[in-house]
């Protein structure tokens, strides 16, 4: 599932003066996605089927993939694989500088993902640019492209779900920053409950 693509499509449909709420389902599983557009924010809600996987993690290999020293990996945040439909390797870094300066070896990332049945890597930090944000992230889907995403709803939602599980909580809300290092800052709002995951953000027409 590509959540940011879905949000963009929903924004287009609402802005195109659709007279009723779009009826959207996933192509593969025919699962209904509840969508809304309110207060300039477009949102989608899906059933919470998130999970944390028992993929073996070797921090030496991870640091080599990211071209960083191991001391730049945050020890107080989870480094693991999690998914709400598209498995990602989540790697915590100690601060925003380490996150932005990181230059991963995408060929190594791609090979690791192939070897471990994972679709991409999401590096994150709790050192944010804005005081009202909780985490900042960078997403790499190196199996499909060597381009970095400016916003990744699927990964942001899986990050929130994974953090809730690591804290022993059934739910929580998160504001995730992404894209500032690419000159296109975005904010993704995630709400996790026992039954549902809501992903919300702004969208716009590119000129």
Rounded mean pLDDT for each run of 10 residues along the chain, 207 residues in total? 57 60 59 70 86 97 98 98 95 98 96 96 97 97 80 93 96 97 93 95 64
What is the structure's pLDDT at 157? 95
Q: pLDDT value at position 32? A: 63
What is the rounded CA–CA span in Å between residue 146 and residue 22? 32
Strand 135-140 relative to strand 172-178: parallel, antiparallel, unpaired? parallel
Helix (H) or strand (E) holding 107: helix 106-116
pLDDT for the residue 118? 96
CA atoms within 13 A on the CB side of 192: 25
- The pLDDT, as a whole number, for residue 22 is 60
| Residue 12, burial from CB neighbour count under 10 angstroms (0-12, 13-18, 19+) | middle
Give the model's pLDDT for residue 83.
96
Comparing CA positions, the residue from 103, 107, 75, 106 lying closest to residue 91 is: 75
Report how far apart, in Å, the C-alpha atoms of 199 and of each of 10, 33, 187 are.
12, 11, 11
- Two structure tokens written together for 191: 């709400």
Number of H helices, E strands in the chain: 5, 12
Please identify, in words, the CATH class of the domain defined by 48-191: alpha beta
Using only C-alpha atoms, the chain has a radius of gyration, in whole angstroms, of: 17
Residue written as token pair 């940011």: 4
Furthest-apart CA pair in the chain: how many Å? 54
Tally of residues, the chain: 207
Question: pLDDT at position 28, please?
Answer: 58
pLDDT at 14: 62
**How many angstroms separate the Cα of 136 from the Cα of each of 45, 97, 123, 170?**
22, 11, 8, 22
Residue 111: enclosing H or E segment and its boundaries?
Answer: helix 106-116
End-to-end CA gap in the chain: 26
């Amino acid at each position: 599932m590509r959540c940011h693509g879905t949000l963009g499509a929903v924004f287009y449909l609402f802005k195109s003066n659709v007279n009723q709420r779009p009826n959207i389902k996933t192509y593969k599983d025919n699962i209904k996605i509840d969508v809304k557009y309110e207060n300039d924010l477009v949102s989608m809600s899906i059933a919470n089927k998130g999970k944390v996987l028992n993929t073996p993690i070797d921090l030496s290999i991870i640091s080599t993939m990211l071209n960083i020293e191991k001391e730049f990996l945050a020890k107080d945040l989870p480094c693991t694989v999690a998914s709400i439909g598209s498995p990602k390797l989540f790697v915590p870094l100690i601060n925003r500088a380490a996150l932005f300066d990181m230059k991963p070896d995408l060929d190594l990332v791609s090979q690791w993902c192939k070897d471990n049945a994972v679709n991409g890597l999401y590096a994150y930090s709790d050192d944010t640019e804005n005081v009202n944000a909780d985490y900042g992230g960078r997403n790499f889907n190196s199996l499909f492209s060597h381009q970095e995403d400016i916003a990744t709803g699927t990964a942001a939602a899986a990050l929130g779900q994974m953090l809730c599980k690591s804290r022993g909580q059934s739910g929580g809300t998160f504001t995730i920053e992404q894209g500032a290092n690419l000159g296109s800052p975005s904010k993704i709002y995630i709400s996790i409950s026992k039954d549902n995951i809501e992903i919300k953000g702004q969208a716009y027409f590119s000129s």
